Amino acid sequence: MRKTILAMACLSGFLSQPAKADDQAPSQALSVETGYGYHTDMARLAWSYAWNRRWFTDHSWSLGGYWDVGIGHWTPHNPVGGNHDVNDFGLTPVWRLSPTNPEGSVVPFLEAAVGAHYISDYQIYNGRDMSTHFQFGDHVGAGLSLGPRHDWDVMFRFQHLSNAGIENPNPGINFYQVRLGHWF
């Protein structure tokens, strides 16, 4: 708990830094996530780096994306016992569909991603054995970019992690997440 409080304090101190004076779109972000799935709480901090390219810009909605590097912690609390805290390290390319020419201070977006994760312990609790440290993590999400520079993101995500049948058993785990990010 202390580590989470310290990380959130550092993140909030960083996010309170003044914005850049130029009008360039923000290219990096820090995010904090929280979620729940299968008797397991999760929290994650992430750094994101936007791609310099957008596709389909001649349409009202266009496709862009970013690299997401995250470190997370899972805390299982299953009554069957054998609960093991798990650290999660991930690298994920994320595709984002958003309006090509956003207007106003609230802009919707959709996301989809598939990336690689390393989990520190593959037995989460009795009956949920992920079999390998390596996991694929995919997510879909919807959210809003807020503010005059659209530099704050609030989103809901559904994330699934599994080893894609590399070894059995492969029960996977799903998380319902809320994510808050700030682009700078």
Ranges of each domain in the chain:
32-183
Q: What is the pLDDT of residue 101?
A: 94
Mind giving me the DSSP string for 3-33? HHHHHHHHHHHHHTSPPPSS-PPP-EEEEEE
Q: What is the pLDDT of residues 114-170, one digit of tens each?
A: 999 999 999 999 989 999 999 999 999 999 999 999 999 999 999 999 999 999 999
Instruction: Tell me the pLDDT band of 6, cut-offs 50, 70 and 90.
Output: very low
State pTM to two decimals: 0.84
Q: How many CB atoms lie within 10 A of CB 92?
A: 21
In angstroms, the CA 170 to CA 172 distance is: 6
Architecture of domain 32-183: Beta Barrel (2.40)
